[in-house]
Amino acid sequence: MDSTYNLNGGFKPTLKRFADLQGPDYFPTPEWATHALIANEQFEGSIWEPACGDGAMSRVLETTGSPVLSTDLFDRGYGEAGVDFLKADHVADNIITNPPYNSAEAFVKAGLVQARCKMALLLRLAFVEGANRQRTIFAKTPPTRIWVFSERITFYPAGAVQKGSGTTAYAWFVWDKQDMGKTEMKWLPLGYKSRYSAKGVKEAKNPMLFR
């Protein structure tokens, strides 16, 4: 367990990752966050989403045209259930997922073994901090690129009304096995949130709304 994700004995952000720890409850990744990744980072070959939930991220990844394997430890109505990523021996060209906070470091270590080409993990920007991660991850296998979200991601329980804005900064951490050794920090362009939100999709399908 990653102890640096605790604040006064509670996980943070409390609501989101406390639900993850309980198993059946989960907070799907907003589709626009995945669109932002694939628009700025190229992935060639197969993709494995090992914490697929209800398929929110997998469905976006499938738009790349690459074969996508979707698995999850729990049965959330999508992909193959009962697959523990940390114990699986499957190998894919690329691994892309939003790991549970309490298993983030373990996902990094496992993914570096199971990904042939690239691994991209959606993590709190604060993941760059911490003496333990510096020793066990960053000093040995630093990410190639960190794509920082300028727009805040808000995670909602499945089926909840989406309103308000998150207060936690997130980033895509990308390990490219063909370019390891140094880290480049980049900022994702603005606009993905509005373009791929429910409102943005509706406008894109109805050009009259732009007139």
Q: Where are the domains of the chain?
A: 3-210
Degrees to nearest 5, angle at CA 172 with 170 and 176: 160
Question: How many angstroms separate the CA atoms of 133 and 61, rounded?
Answer: 28
Question: How many angstroms separate the CA atoms of 27 and 54, rounded?
Answer: 10
- Per DSSP, the residues of 76-104 read -SSSEES--TTT----EEEEEE---GGGH
Helix (H, G, I), strand (E, B) or coil at 155: coil
* pLDDT score of 165: 56
* pLDDT score of 52: 94
The pLDDT tens digits of the residues spanning 71-82 come to: 999 998 899 999
The CATH-assigned architecture of domain 3-210 is: 3-Layer(aba) Sandwich (3.40)
Q: Give me the residues of the chain with pLDDT under 50, please.
A: 1-22, 24, 160-162, 199-211
* pLDDT score of 181: 85
